[in-house]
Structure 1
Amino acid sequence: MTFSELSPRRQEQLMAFDRLLTIMDELREQCPWDRKQTLESLRHLTIEETYELSDAILENDLPEIRKEIGDIQLHLVFYAKIASEAPADSPDRFDIADVLNSVCEKLISRHPHIYPDASGSKVIAENEEQVKANWEQLKLKEGNKSVLGGVPGSLPALVKAMRIQEKARGAGFDWYEKQQVWQKVEEEMQEFKAEFNAESETVIDPQRAEAEFGDLLFSLVNYARFIDINPETALERTNKKFIKRFQYIEEQARANGRTLSSMTLAEMDVYWNEAKSVG
């Protein structure tokens, strides 16, 4: 299909992407800051932009989501531009076309229920679970030594626990019923309580208590997965709720000429309960 045969909107999308690539070329050549950047120097900025996109998604702020997607898209184009500047004979050199073609080929190969193979046959995948299972098996065929090998080591622990469990499920290693998972939660709670009983003055072993607490968190993440709750999202929403209510206490204290350090917990609880009633 030629460019002129594409729909007007698709033409506009491609032209917008071409515009970004052109601007990136110009900035890399003419701007002192952009010339100085490396893959490593951009890394922490990309992480920051990703978290900003995450915040916008949690707030369901579509204008902000559009902005943050643009910032991340710029970073992706920037990485490809830097990689394209490697020596011409370097086997590691690539540009944005290589990136996009690579991901397109991966998507096609990992969706054999959509795209037939050379013989014209398709893999059967009638539901989401079958798609996930096929995906993990294909990754193993591509060279992954472990189903868990694709979980980034630097992921935050809560997110990592969720991804580990999802990937294990894709390989068939999972509980059958959510009741079984809840029994595991209660079991881990009792084991943790045995190590760290608030009613006892017995000195605890910090390392054992930490291990049991980690097991408890892992089991709670597992149960959350079974009832379709994303634990990272749930905890972040609670964080935001706490911040909002705590800041309400600070605002009310200032309005009454007080500081938190001069207030009793009972006085702060009054404002906390007010904050709960206003959202």
Structure 2
Amino acid sequence: MTTTNNLSGVAALLEVMRRLRDPSGGCPWDLKQTMTSLIPYTIEEAYEVAAAITEGDVADIKDELGDLLFQVVFYAQLSEESAQFSFDDVAQQTADKLIRRHPHVFGDSTTQTDEEIKAQWEQIKAEERANKGGQDSVFHGIPDNLPSILMALKLQKRAANVGFDWDTIAPVLAKIREEIEEVEAELACKERDQQALEAEIGDVLFAVVNLARHAQVNPEHALRRTNLKFKQRFQAIEKRLNISKQRPEDLSLEELEAHWQAVKSESS
């Protein structure tokens, strides 16, 4: 006996969700969940999608996208039970918003270049925020609990939209050098102020995010790629050492560096 009554795709998933939340026969764990309790799982699933895409495994990407979609369906089911909105309402509102934000596709706008489209998108979003009311800052609507890199990027973009930005990349690079010098100065103090050092290193990170933005590089993607590269190279060192029954902690830094350079040349 099928649980979806021969339904398929989204309809089948929605029916499965309803069964899981059925008070008389549903899953005890699913019945306990609230929108708040699901937040950690949603964040985790989003990162797992990103990891699968970075790895490039199509089967994993499909699987992780399904897990993330299930999170959306779960939230919609909880809201439908409290008569707030349904999954279809979410889908329709998103479709309407995309149509509104793409007048060059669905309307009569003649915008064509990437720069024009981006400026038009930001202008429409700004108008939407203003129409919601209560906008007393260019940063209105940015969630306080965003990951730090994404938060930095969004703050910089909003400030840039009102003209607080450099026109060229040279001063962006100069700012990074300036911030690094301030870190060096803090490190050189006889009595280190750990809070001041943290603030200076934070300034360096913020400036590097700004460089990524000006270079049209997504800083989250860039760092994720570097993290993966570091992990793979160090695991390659571990594999080399395992052959000779050695462990990384048994070697000196110089010896580990020699292995690192060997692995690096092999992978380049």
Please give the range of the TM-score, normalised by the shorter of the 2 chains. 0.7 to 0.9
Q: What is the deviation of 1:236? A: 1.6
Give the residue type in structure 1 aligned to 2:151.
K
TM normalised by structure 1 equals 0.81
1:71-124 Cα deviation digits (max 9, x unpaired): 1111111111111111x5xxxx211122122223333333444455xxxxx566
Gaps of 5+ in 2: 1-6
Per the alignment, residue 21 of structure 2 pairs with: 28
1:187/1:28 Cα in 2 relative to 1: closer, same or farther (>3 Å)? same
- 1:175 has 2:171 as partner: no
1:129 and 1:94 map into 2 onto residues whose CA distance is 31
Choose from 139, 146, 152 the match for 1:148: 139
* Identity value in percent: 38
- Pick aligned residue for 2:255 from 253, 267, 277: 267
Q: Indicate if the aligned counterparts of 1:111 and 1:135 stay in contact, CA closer than 8 A.
A: no
- For residue 22 of structure 1, what is the amino acid of its counterpart? E
**Contact 1:50-1:72 at 8 Å conserved across structures:** yes
Deviations 1:253-276 (A, max 9, x none): 222122223222222223222221
Distance 1:269 1:140 in 2: 52
Would you say the 8 A contact 2:102–2:121 is kept in 1? Answer: no
Matched, 1:61 2:82: no
Farther-moved stretch of structure 1 (228-237 vs 107-116): 107-116
2:94 alignment partner, one of 91, 103, 108: 103
Who is 1:5 aligned against? none
Whole-angstrom distance in 1 between the partners of 2:96 and 2:213:
30
Query: 2:125 is matched by which residue type in structure 1?
Result: E
Partner of 1:150: helix, strand, or coil?
Answer: coil
Q: 2-side partners of 1:176 and 1:259: how far apart?
A: 50
**Match status 1:277 vs 2:268:** no
How far, CA to CA, are the matches of 1:218 and 1:224 in structure 2? 10
- The one-letter code sitting in structure 2 at the alignment partner of 1:100 is A
- Whole-angstrom distance in 1 between the partners of 2:122 and 2:78: 36
- Checking the alignment, whether the CA contact within 8 Å between 1:165 and 1:222 is kept in structure 2 is yes
Question: Which of 212, 233, 242 is 1:224 aligned to?
Answer: 212
Query: Does 2:125 align with 1:130?
Result: no
Q: Are the equivalent residues in 2 in contact too, given 1:162–1:221 (CA < 8 A)?
A: yes
Distance across 2 between alignment mates of 1:248 and 1:31: 46
Tell me, yes or no, if the aligned pair for 2:139 and 2:155 is still in contact at 8 Å: yes
8 Å CA contact 1:133, 1:171 repeated in 2: no
Normalised to the residue count of structure 2, the TM-score between the two structures is: 0.84
Alignment: residue pair count: 253
> Which residue is 1:245 aligned to?
233
Letter in 2 for 1:57: I
Q: Equivalents in 1 of 2:191, 2:111: separation in Å?
A: 54
220-229 or 258-267, which deviates more: 258-267
